[in-house]
Structures are given as C-alpha cells and as structure tokens.
C-alpha cells in the first residue's frame, strides 16, 4: 500500500545510500524543479520508532535539490516496507537508469541479488529453484514480490532482460562488485575508471594482496588507471640492448680457446698482427 502526501524535510531520515549523492546532479535537478516543479515524488517508508517519522527509500538527489531550494516540505509516496524491502525498492528505481556508471550498476546488481536472497531465499536456476517457485503463489504485486517472481527463472536472466543486456554482462557486473573492496570502490567513484568496464574487470582480477592496496594506488595516481596499475604491478625494466651484446661477448670470451682469444684481440687492434700478415 502506498500513500502520496507532503512531508516536512525535518521528519525525513536519510540512511547510507548505495549510490552517493552527486552535488552537481542535485544542482541540475534543482534547476529543473525551479522551471517545471518536482515531477516525481520521492519514496519514503514510515519509521514510527525512529528519531524521525520517515526514512528515505528512493530519491536522494531530489531530496537534496529541495534542500538546496530551502523548501520546508517535499512531495512523497509513503510505502509499507521493512529495511530490506526498502533497499530493493531503491534498487528498483535506480538500477535501470541510464545515468549510472558501470561501478554503480555493478553494486546495485550485486545488492539486488544479496537482499533478494536474504528476504526470499537462495536464487537457484532450473530444477533446484523449485522451493522458491513454490512460494510464488503467496506473493502479491509489490516491487519486492515482482522481483521475486522474475528471479525465480534465474537471477542473471531476469536482471539481463530488465537491463537489456546479456546474462554474461550481469555476471561481469557481479564479478566487479564481489571482487572490489569498499575502499577501492570509494577511491574509484567519480573517476573515469568508474565507467570503464574493462578497467574495473582488470582491477577485479588482481590477486587479493594487490586489490587490498588498489585504493592507495588509485589515489596516488589521481584516478589515472595506467599509473595506478604500474604502481600495483611495476613493469619489468627493459634491458639495454648494448648490455645484452656485452653479456654475449663476455660469455663467448669465457668459452673461447686461447688461439681464438688471440685472433679476437688482433682483430680488435689490441695486439700486433703476426709478421707476414697471417691472422
């Protein structure tokens, strides 16, 4: 059940978000609100036992934009949901937006799966999924229940259908989210790396020890991927070609017989040639 109403900003608690608020994006929404008004209300849930009466579910950028306008209230849709269901609703609203970076999308996809499994049971494709499928008769039409119905056919397939990409792409996004620690994701956020899937996958494939240091390397490199990778995996120094030649000469000299050494010294002009011009 959902109810639309105007809610005082002072009554809204904002929990930690899966996607951090980008101030520039909030400013752009602020300009749009000034011109057109708030086109889409934010989503809240009731928290009668909390310090504030409502908790933000979705619409952090819109809420920030209203704050920037010094408005006292905001239009909202109040839904009935617990904390886990609220995360799923947040994902529902954000996951399929075009303005998400690859990194944000990876985190949303992974959280989408994690919270669904926490609330509905393990996602298992094919015959092994029958226990979940048996539960579908008990589900309704809420966002959470619709997710459950789709995921019953296999999470990657359902999510890929919604995003319009292949199941393999979903698996790549899962790999990125699963293998990049939180501090690495925070260091990447806001850099060009965050929207480059191949670079994110390369970081995800690093061995655990190097991944643990990646956030330091990224900050040291100021977001330059190549510099960061060189810090984590220093390239092998190129051998001077002349040093290689010298090494081969020394090796040949040590293996040569006295007569051959004498001929070499004569050729190099280091000793006088034998009388009669013999070499």
Does the domain formed by 2-80 have CATH 3.90.1530.10? yes
pLDDT of residue 142: 52
pLDDT of residue 10: 93
pLDDT of residue 125: 53
Q: How far apart are CA 175 and CA 180, in angstroms?
A: 8
pLDDT of residue 186: 86
pLDDT of residue 138: 41
CATH topology of domain 92-232: Arc Repressor Mutant, subunit A (1.10.10)
Q: How far apart are CA 202 and CA 191, in angstroms?
A: 16
Q: How far apart are CA 256 and CA 264, in angstroms?
A: 10
pLDDT along the chain (279 residues), means of 10: 86 85 88 90 85 89 94 92 80 70 84 74 52 42 52 63 74 87 87 92 92 91 92 82 85 89 86 65
Q: How far apart are CA 182 and CA 57, in angstroms?
A: 22
102 within 8 A of 176, measured Cβ to Cβ: yes
List, as one string, the DSSP characters of 45-97.
EE-TTSSSSEEEEE-HHHHHHHHHTT-SEEEEEEE---HHHHHHHHHHHHTT-
pTM for the whole structure? 0.58
pLDDT of residue 124: 60
């Amino acid at each position: 059940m959902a109810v639309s109403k105007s809610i005082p900003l002072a009554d809204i608690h904002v929990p930690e978000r899966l996607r951090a608020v980008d101030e520039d994006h909030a400013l752009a929404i602020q300009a749009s609100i000034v011109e057109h008004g708030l086109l889409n209300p934010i989503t809240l849930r009731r928290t009668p036992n909390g310090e504030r009466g409502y908790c933000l579910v979705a619409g952090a950028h819109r809420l920030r934009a209203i704050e920037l306008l010094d408005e006292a209230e905001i239009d909202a849709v109040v839904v009935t949901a617990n904390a886990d269901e609220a995360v799923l609703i947040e994902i529902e609203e954000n996951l399929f937006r075009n303005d998400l970076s690859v990194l944000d999308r990876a985190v949303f996809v992974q959280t989408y799966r994690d919270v669904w499994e926490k609330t509905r049971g393990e996602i298992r494709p094919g015959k092994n999924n029958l226990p979940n499928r048996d539960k579908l008769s008990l589900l309704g039409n809420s966002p959470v229940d619709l997710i459950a119905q789709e995921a019953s056919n296999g999470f990657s397939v359902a999510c890929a259908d919604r995003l319009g990409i292949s199941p393999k792409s979903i698996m790549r996004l899962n790999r990125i989210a699963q293998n990049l620690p939180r501090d690495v994701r925070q260091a990447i956020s806001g850099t060009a790396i965050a929207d480059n899937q191949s670079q994110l996958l390369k970081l995800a494939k690093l061995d655990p020890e190097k991944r643990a240091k990646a956030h330091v390397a990224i900050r040291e490199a100021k977001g330059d991927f190549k510099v960061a990778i060189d810090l984590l995996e220093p390239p092998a120094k190129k051998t001077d070609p002349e040093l290689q030649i010298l090494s081969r000469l020394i090796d040949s000299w040590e293996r040569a017989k006295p007569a051959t050494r004498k001929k070499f010294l004569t050729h190099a002009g280091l000793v006088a040639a034998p009388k009669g011009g013999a070499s």
